[in-house]
Amino acid sequence: MKVADFIKQKRESIFPHSFELKDLLSPSLREHWLDFVNKTNKSQLGALISGKTSASNDDNVVHAVETLKKPVFEKPSFEKTEAEKPAPAPVVMKPEAEQLYKELTASLGEVLHTGEWLMVDQDRINKFADVTEDHQWIHTDPERAAQESPFKTTIAHGFLTLSLLSALTDSVDPNKQKFPTAKMTVNLGFNKVRFPYPVKSGNRVRATTRIQSVTPIKRGLEIVQELTVEIEGVRRPGCVAESVIQLHF
Does residue 209 or residue 178 have the better pLDDT? 209
Residue 159 placed within a domain: yes
Residue type, 106: A
Residue 152 lies in a domain: yes
Residues 57 and 100 in one domain: no
- What is the number of structural domains in the chain? 2
Q: Is the pLDDT of residue 77 over 60?
A: no
Considering the domain architecture, whether residues 44 and 121 belong to the same structural domain is answered as no
The average pLDDT across 164-181 equals 87
At 137 the pLDDT is 98
pLDDT tens-digit map of 6-53: 656 665 555 554 445 556 566 666 676 667 666 655 555 555 455 554
Residue 82 lies in a domain: no
pLDDT at 19: 47
Q: For residues 99 and 30, which has the higher predicted lDDT (pLDDT)?
A: 99
- Is residue 47 in a domain? yes
Q: Are 55 and 131 members of one domain?
A: no
Q: Tell me the pairing of strands 239-248 and 220-231.
A: antiparallel
178 and 237 in a single domain? The answer is yes
What is the domain range of residue 181?
95-248
Task: For 125-141, write each residue's pLDDT tens digit.
Answer: 999 999 999 999 999 99
Tell me the average pLDDT of the chain: 82
CA 185 to chain centre: 20
Would you say 145 and 126 are in contact if contact means Cβ atoms under 8 Å apart?
no
- Residue 9 in any domain: the answer is yes
| 89 domain residue, yes or no | no
Same domain, 58 and 157: no
Position 183 pLDDT exceeds 80 = yes
**Same domain assignment for residues 45 and 126:** no
Lowest-pLDDT choice from 73-82, 85-94, 109-118, 174-183: 73-82
Beta strands in 72-219 (DSSP E): 111-114, 118-120, 184-194, 203-217
Residue 84 lies in a domain: no
Mean pLDDT across the stretch 209-229?
96
Clarify whether residues 199 and 143 are in a common domain: yes
Angstrom CA distances, 73 to 38, 39, 58, 110, 189, stand at: 15, 15, 27, 54, 42
